[in-house]
Structure 1
């Protein structure tokens, strides 16, 4: 099987295609690219997945055999901590052995740049090219040494947060680490920063099976957290980090799920209120609320294809040209980054920023978002379907057909975006987006509208149209 890179590295099923030998192949190609660019050091980390430490060791050994000096994490760590380590140690790049939010049977090889963020499309393309050629290196091997980044990473978080506000907060927060790489890290930070909040852990012990769910912060995986918060009131909240802790989710008092679009809006408004300025970058699947809020605040908006590497590119462009500096960038799946930190999704930092926003305002996340809806004049409701189709499904034909739709569920089409997939702008501010996976027979359908009923109707009709085209499905 060929090794294929998706929007954020290479992922495959453990023992099927994600094997020691394939990890060595990717690491050798990666070492070739880094060495050709003058790189000397690389950092390697891993999450709580099955065989994580061993896969990391295999990658580290192959990178060292390729002439690089390797700093290898001694224990599991969050992806943002690994990315920060690349900057902190002046490394040429980083490797994180993780499949992020994918099911437990998967693992992956995420490539990080020297700048501490997702590999740019150009860097990924170089590694993919190197994979197609035999890699022979006959120079001296590098070394493999352990490293521990926890205290340095905590100090970096200190620089991003309003510690006086956080230290004054006495509310209840539950952190659902989902058995992933953030286990113990948020409570560890609370001790480090001398916070007085009532911070409780849920699924806070590492579990390669992620307590029976996919480690993705979406409602169907958060039933226990929702139950825990169902009886809470006021500003109590739950924060959720995914398998490698780069994505974030939230649940509010009463057990209500608070989605990534809402988190993006609340944090953007909060950072603006702290006096920070810059461009706003969102993927095309992101909410209209972000567009309207950026306009309301007088901030330039940049829209990208899906994939955090495109947001990373915008952050790097802003570092080179201060007039293009990014205040905040984010994607629909819960990955958010902000100015002054590494150009990387950071579920731990964003969890703390949510707590800070609540502490600073004395209002719940729900109340803060309702204020934004009133400010921009748009009520946000959202739904998504991930459709697993037959291998024969013609994804290109679907996208061609979608471009010609005049209406969906009675909502006339008023505009079209083809930045990534097909996004139809419907009457009344609603939208429906069709996006096909590049590596699997999967089509994702995203819908936003101003009422729950409209979301349900549009999502049902869009889903029906996709399934009607799947001639490979059994009758």
Structure 2
């Protein structure tokens, strides 16, 4: 099977397509692309997945053979720390061996640019081209040296946070790293910064099987944390990072899930009102209407992008080159967020700490802070997403063409059609339904937002059934 690159690199099933031989092939192509750009060095890391260290060693050895000097992590580390290391060491790029939030049987090869963020589409295209037309390399071998980035990364977090505000927080926090690359990193930072909060870990032992769940910060994977917090009240908070700790989620006192749109809104308001920061707000097309309404209240420009953090990275880089285009915060529906002054990269650890900082500054819980925003913008947010796994006969092109002709969904009239990425329908009553098909597998994601739970369920149910009509092998019930 051919190696297929998605929005952030290549991922595949371990021992089927994700093998040492294929990893060498990709690393050789990546090294060629970096050399062609004048690069001489690269940073390589891995998460807690099966054979992560072994695959990272293969990448490092291959790139050294191809003439690059390599900093190689000797233990698992979070993707944001790897991306920061690229910038810190002035490397031409980075490789993170991870499949992020995907199931345990997957691993992956994430490409990072010299600026410490997701690789640009141009670099990805170069690597893909080199896979099919590799050039021989006959120069001197590069070096491989160990990477030690934790202290420097912690000092970078120091610069992004109000430490006095954090040190005043006395609530209870539970970090669930899901057995992934965030294990020990948040508790380590708390010790580094002298924070007095009561911070503990759930699933803090590194586990290539992620303690029996898919390492994605969404409710189906968070049953243990929700149960643990079900009897809690007040400002107790559960923060969740995914398999490589670049995405974030939250569970609040009482065991309720606090989704990525809500986190995005609360951090936007906190950075603007409490921290006094300014800039554009960048959201993917799947993001909540609440973000747009809040930005409008704050007088901030909103930039909407296709799905994929690489597009948000582009906006951050544009803002670094032109102060008038600076980004205050950028985020995506899947829990990836970054903010002004940091690397142009998702960072689940930083965003966990910023949520705590927002609670410390206000004396309010996250649900209370978000309720204030809902009241301010006049919109009640109810959201859910369905990931539909379909047969190989599913006709995604027909679905997306059909969706553009819908005149109503569950009794809600279609008032606008957005085809920036997939098809997003603006519905009467402030609701929306979005259909987005995977480019590499027969999967369709349906995103729905509405102003009541009843509307949400009705729209999601009908939208799901309309997707299934385009799968000849689907059987109702």
Indicate if the aligned counterparts of 1:42 and 1:68 stay in contact, CA closer than 8 A.
Answer: yes
Q: Is the 8 A contact 2:264 2:291 kept in 1?
A: yes
Name the SS for the 1:6 alignment partner: coil
CA contact (8 A) 1:28 1:135 kept: no
Q: 1:309 matched to which residue of 2?
A: 310
Q: Secondary structure at the match of 1:85?
A: helix
8 Å contact kept, 1:432–1:448: yes
Distance 2:61 2:135 in 1: 15
d(CA) in 2 for partners of 1:440 and 1:47? 24
Equivalent pairs counted in the alignment come to 475
Post-superposition shift, 1:472?
Answer: 3.1
Correspondence list, 1:14-53, <5 A: 14-53=14-53
CA distance in 2, matches of 1:368, 1:425: 26
The whole-number CA distance in structure 2 between the counterparts of 1:322 and 1:142 is 38
Contact map agreement 1:83 1:344 (CA 8 A) in 2? yes
How far 1:474 sits from its partner (Å)? Answer: 5.8
Distance, in Å, in 1 between the alignment partners of 2:76 and 2:470 is 44
Per the normalisation by structure 2, the TM-score is: 0.99
Aligned to 2:355: 354
Query: What does the per-residue CA deviation read over 1:413-438, in whole Å, with 9 as the maximum and x for residues that have no partner?
Result: 00010000000000011000000000
- Indicate whether 1:2 and 2:2 are aligned: yes
CA distance in 2, matches of 1:275, 1:131: 47
Q: Which residue of 1 aligns with 2:72?
A: 72
| SS of residue paired to 1:224 | helix
Structure 2: unaligned runs, 5 residues or longer: none
Contact 2:104–2:210 at 8 Å: present in 1 too?
A: yes
Q: How many angstroms does 1:134 deviate by?
A: 2.5
CA separation in 2, counterparts of 1:319 and 1:419?
A: 25
Q: How does 1:181-330 map to 2 (within 5 A)?
A: 181-273=181-273, 274-330=275-331
Match of 2:432 in 1: 431
Superposed counterparts of 1:53-92, under 5 Å? 53-92=53-92
Q: Which residue of 1 aligns with 2:451?
A: 450
Superposed, 1:402-413 pairs within 5 Å as 402-413=403-414
Q: Secondary structure at the match of 2:227?
A: helix
Give the secondary-structure state (helix, strand or coil) at the position aligned to 1:313. Answer: helix
Q: Is the 8 A contact 1:267 1:357 kept in 2?
A: yes
5+ residue gaps, structure 1: none
TM-score by length of 1: 0.99
Whether 1:422 aligns to 2:442 is no
- Report what 1:127 is aligned to: 127
Q: Separation in 1 of the partners of 2:322 and 2:21? A: 42
Distance apart, 1:135 and its partner CA? 3.3
Cα distance in 1, alignment partners of residues 410 and 63 from structure 2: 53
Residue 29 of structure 1, CA deviation:
0.5
**What CA distance in whole angstroms lies between the structure 2 residues aligned with 1:47 and 1:302?**
32
Counterparts of 2:194 and 2:322, CA distance in 1:
37
* More off after superposition, 120-129 vs 410-419: 120-129
Distance 1:406 1:368 in 2: 36
Q: Deviations over 1:22-46 (max 9, x none)?
A: 0001000000010011101100000
For residues 239 and 329 of structure 1, the distance between their equivalents in structure 2, rounded to whole angstroms, comes to: 19
Q: Distance in 1 between matches of 2:235 and 2:369?
A: 11
Distance 1:344 1:291 in 2: 21
Secondary structure of the residue aligned to 2:435 is strand
Distance 1:7 1:377 in 2: 34
Q: How far off is 1:123 after superposition?
A: 1.3
Q: 1:216 touches 1:243 (CA, 8 Å); kept in 2?
A: yes
